[in-house]
Amino acid sequence: MASPTRTACPYKGRTSGYWSVRAGDRLHPDLAWSYGFPTAALLPIAGLVAFYNEKVDLVVDGERLARPRTHFS
What's the pLDDT at 73? 83
Predicted TM-score (pTM) of this structure: 0.77
Q: What is the pLDDT of residues 1-48, one digit of tens each?
A: 999 999 998 999 999 999 999 999 999 999 999 999 899 999 999 999
Q: How many CA atoms does the CB half-sphere of 46 hold within 13 Å?
A: 9
User: How does residue 70 score in pLDDT terms, banded at 50, 70 and 90?
Assistant: very high
Whose CA is closest to 49, among 31, 67, 64, 63?
A: 31
